[in-house]
């Protein structure tokens, strides 16, 4: 019988989908501030959020002669805006509409004299509703959000271990507020063929050959939390490559390998199961894509 690791919480909560939909919009507001004020970095790395020991953060955002930081604290259930001069504003994370949260968020920025121009339209979601008009999404279960953050934290630690094996160009382990997923990406160092009719985001994101892995929260088209891995461009034979652990499969709907988060957390060793998924999918993409692995990987000690 498998003994579940309590460090890896279940995300099979009936309140999580609605909480996730609301929290997704809240993170987008914060992410859009970072997008508006942070210098551009290749592959949009400069707009992502990062895991902390208590939640998610923008990291310091330059502003005038100083900087400020916005952080979600999922321990005390608070959004915190800190300036380098010591000023602070906080917003409680509790059930409220996206429109109400947006109004309070803008007032907090205004109180701190942070002026920012950002679009009130969410990104990368079907049927988007302006933040200031969204009263549909108003659910927030603090316990469900806390479990999700704990899952992200455990995942991030494994992602960092996996990332350390690679000495080529590699993304940070970061959280995409557009897709609401935690991800890490490795690059071959070669440019990728241009994608016809690609938008600016896609064109920049996939300008070079990449193998990415991440964790989706389990909403929308993917109804349950799952780890994913894909290669872009996808080399011939990738769809039928043998990967592990048991439970991993290639989805023709997503053009990615997937494994349910629940299958990983219930494994004898979630860390080992996730590392096997990350390594086997990477090796499949790198070998079939002709990557120079000897030059890109850290020799095993």
pLDDT 10s digits, 229-269: 999 999 999 999 999 999 999 999 999 999 999 999 999 99
* 232 backbone dihedrals φ, ψ, rounded to 5°: -135, 120
Round to whole Å and give the CA distance between 249 and 228.
Answer: 10
Residue 121 sits in the same domain as residue 170: no
pLDDT at 52: 97
With 90 as the cut, is the pLDDT of residue 195 above it?
no
* 296 backbone dihedrals φ, ψ, rounded to 5°: -105, -15
Percent of the chain with pLDDT over 90: 89
Residue 81 sits in the same domain as residue 204: no
Q: Among all chains, which residue has been given the structure tokens 């959004």?
A: 79
Residue 259 sits in the same domain as residue 167: yes
Mean pLDDT of 87-112: 98
Per-residue pLDDT band at 3 (split at 50, 70, 90): low
Residue where one domain finishes, among candidates 84, 105, 133: 133
Percent of the chain with pLDDT over 70: 97
Q: Is residue 70 part of a domain?
A: yes
Which residues, listed in sequence order, are joined to residue 258 by a DSSP beta bridge? 228, 249
Residue 211 sits in the same domain as residue 91: no
Residue 94 sits in the same domain as residue 211: no
Q: Is residue 5 part of a domain?
A: no
Mean pLDDT of 198-223: 87
pLDDT at 1: 41
Which residues, listed in sequence order, are joined to residue 166 by a DSSP beta bridge? 297
Q: Residue 290's domain spans which residues? A: 142-296
Residue 156 sits in the same domain as residue 35: no
Q: Is residue 214 part of a domain?
A: yes
Q: Is residue 6 part of a domain?
A: no
With 70 as the cut, is the pLDDT of residue 4 above it?
no
Q: 10-41 burial string, b = 16+ CB within 10 Å, else e? A: ebebeebbbbbbbbbbbbbbbbbbbbebbeee
Task: Report the chain's mean pLDDT, rounded to a whole number.
Answer: 95
Mean pLDDT of 156-162: 98
| Sign of the CA dihedral with 158 first, then 164, 165, and 169 last | positive
Round to whole Å and give the CA distance between 79 and 142.
Answer: 13
Residue where one domain finishes, among candidates 133, 156, 179: 133
* 123 backbone dihedrals φ, ψ, rounded to 5°: -115, 150
pLDDT at 301: 57
With 50 as the cut, is the pLDDT of residue 280 above it?
yes
Per-residue pLDDT band at 203 (split at 50, 70, 90): confident
With 80 as the cut, is the pLDDT of residue 221 above it?
no
With 50 as the cut, is the pLDDT of residue 218 above it?
yes
pLDDT at 5: 73
pLDDT at 255: 95
Q: Is residue 8 part of a domain?
A: no
Domain count for the chain, please give it. 2
Residue 226 sits in the same domain as residue 256: yes
Q: Is residue 55 part of a domain?
A: yes
Mean pLDDT of 121-132: 94
Mean pLDDT of 58-63: 97
State whether residue 43 is helix, strand or coil. Answer: helix
Select from 50, 60, 49, 115 the least CA-distant residue to 82: 60
Of 58-67, 102-111, 164-173, 210-219, give the lowest mean pLDDT range: 210-219
Question: Can you give the pTM of this predicted structure?
Answer: 0.94
Residue 292 sits in the same domain as residue 152: yes
pLDDT at 197: 83
Element (H, E) at 251: strand 249-251
Mean pLDDT of 130-138: 98
Q: Is residue 81 part of a domain?
A: yes
Residue 108 sits in the same domain as residue 191: no
Residue 159 sits in the same domain as residue 121: no
Round to whole Å and give the CA distance between 262 and 9.
Answer: 9
- Count of other CB atoms within 10 angstroms of residue 60: 13
Q: Is residue 227 part of a domain?
A: yes
State whether residue 200 is helix, strand or coil. Answer: helix
Radius of gyration of the chain (CA): 20
Residue 66 sits in the same domain as residue 122: yes
With 70 as the cut, is the pLDDT of residue 199 above it?
yes
Residue 86 sits in the same domain as residue 111: yes
Residue where one domain finishes, among candidates 115, 133, 151: 133
């Amino acid at each position: 019988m498998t003994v579940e690791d309590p460090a890896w919480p279940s995300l099979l909560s009936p309140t999580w989908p609605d909480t996730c939909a609301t929290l997704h919009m809240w993170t987008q507001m914060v992410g859009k501030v970072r997008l508006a004020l942070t210098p551009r970095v290749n592959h949009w790395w400069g707009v992502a959020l990062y895991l902390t020991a208590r939640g998610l953060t923008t990291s310091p955002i330059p502003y005038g002669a100083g900087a400020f930081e916005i952080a979600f604290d999922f321990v005390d259930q608070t959004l915190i805006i800190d300036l380098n001069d010591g000023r602070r504003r906080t917003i409680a994370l509790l059930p409220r509409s996206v429109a109400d949260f947006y109004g309070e968020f803008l007032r907090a920025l205004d109180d701190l004299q942070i002026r920012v121009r950002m679009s009130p339209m969410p990104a990368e979601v079907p049927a988007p509703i302006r933040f200031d008009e969204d009263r549909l999404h108003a659910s927030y279960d603090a316990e469900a959000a806390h479990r999700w953050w704990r899952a992200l934290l455990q995942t991030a630690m494994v992602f960092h271990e996996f990332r350390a094996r690679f000495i080529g160009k590699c993304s940070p382990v970061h959280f995409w507020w557009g897709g609401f997923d935690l991800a890490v990406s490795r690059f071959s160092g070669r440019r990728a063929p241009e994608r016809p009719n690609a938008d600016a985001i896609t064109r920049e994101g996939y300008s070079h050959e990449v193998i990415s892995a991440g964790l989706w929260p389990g909403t929308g088209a993917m109804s349950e939390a799952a780890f994913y891995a894909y290669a872009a461009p996808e080399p011939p034979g990738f769809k039928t490559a043998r990967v592990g652990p048991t439970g991993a499969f290639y989805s023709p709907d997503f053009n990615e390998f997937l494994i349910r988060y629940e299958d990983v957390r219930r494994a004898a060793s979630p860390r080992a199961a996730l590392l096997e998924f990350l390594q086997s999918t990477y090796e499949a993409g790198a070998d079939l894509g002709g990557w120079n692995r000897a030059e890109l990987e850290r020799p095993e000690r």
